[in-house]
Amino acid sequence: MPIVLRLPFRGTWLVENSPARRVPSHGTAAFGASHAIDFVAVRDRRTAPVRDWRSVLGVEPVDRFYGFDQEILAPAGGRVRAAEDGVPDLVARRSLVSRAGYALTQAARARAGARGLAGNHVIIELAEGGFLVVAHLRQGTVAVRPGESVAAGQVLGRCGNSGNSTQPHVHVQVMDRADPFTAAGVPILFRDFRIHGRDGAAETVGFGVPDTGDVVEPVGGHGAHRVPESL
């Protein structure tokens, strides 16, 4: 049965690598990531107000992106099992040129474990079962520590570009155990969100998984539940 979460942010964010499009969503079931999903903050479907030669040929400062330093909220309540806060944020890489070289270092990041892949992150043991991962937070902003109880909607930290990340975004997944090296991914759904279409129309969704390319915004309060049997 899927775990139902709330979106971990305010405002409008673009969905990337959604399990609504394919499973495994990130191309691998390793590290409990089979049903993971990514969100990038946008305004008018743009991730940053500036696009210049560095966007095409080089690397970019992360603070030009809308998502950088935005508050990231707990999608569900539970107890913090792990929290990492010491991984430096990387420069952003929108250009194909800069991403090509970065791809060659991905194996090294995987060997570094959670720090290398998730960067600054929080793992929450959910009362409903499963372990929720919120990843790629900004260095020095993680606001919770292992052993703490966290309420849904509580600030976990701020959006960063740490770990396996090419521009500021937030990564969410649920695993069946706390150790990502032995965990399997758990299906997730989100509740109470609005999808903004390219034509300006908006659709409110009670329970669902937004697709890659959707621009979404949370509505209502925070909470985590098992999906109703009727769904």
Token pair in block for residue 114: 């959670």
Which residue stretches of the chain have pLDDT < 70? 103-114, 221-231
Fold of 3-221: Glucose Permease (Domain IIA) (2.70.70)
Predicted local distance difference test score (pLDDT) of residue 223: 42
For residue 29, how many other CB atoms are within 10 A of its CB?
15
Cβ distance 41 to 106 under 8 Å? Answer: no
Burial of 128 (C-beta count, 10 Å sphere; 0-12/13-18/19+): middle
| CA–CA dist 7, 221 (Å, integer) | 10
pTM: 0.91
pLDDT value, residue 109? 65
Pairing assessment for the beta strands 120-126 and 185-186 based on DSSP bridges: unpaired
Which residues lie across from 93 on neighbouring strands?
none
pLDDT for the residue numbered 110: 66
* Pick from 215, 216, 190, 194: nearest CA to 203: 194
Given its phi and psi angles, is residue 196 left (phi above 0), alpha (psi -120 to 50 degrees) or beta?
A: beta
HSE on the CB side for 176, CA within 13 Å? 11
pLDDT digits (tens, 9 = 90+) for 140-179: 999 999 999 999 999 999 999 999 999 999 999 999 999 9
pLDDT of residue 200: 83
Name the residue among 177, 217, 223 with its Cα closest to residue 196. 217
Q: Which residues contact 104 (CB under 8 A, 6 or more apart)?
A: none
| Domain chopping of the chain, boundaries | 3-221
> In terms of Cα–Cα distance, which of 174, 10, 160 is closest to 78?
174
Specify the pLDDT at position 231: 44
What pLDDT is stored for residue 228 in this prediction?
Answer: 45
pLDDT at 177 (0 to 100): 96
**Per-residue pLDDT, 198:** 84
Phi, psi at 22, each rounded to 5°: -165, 155
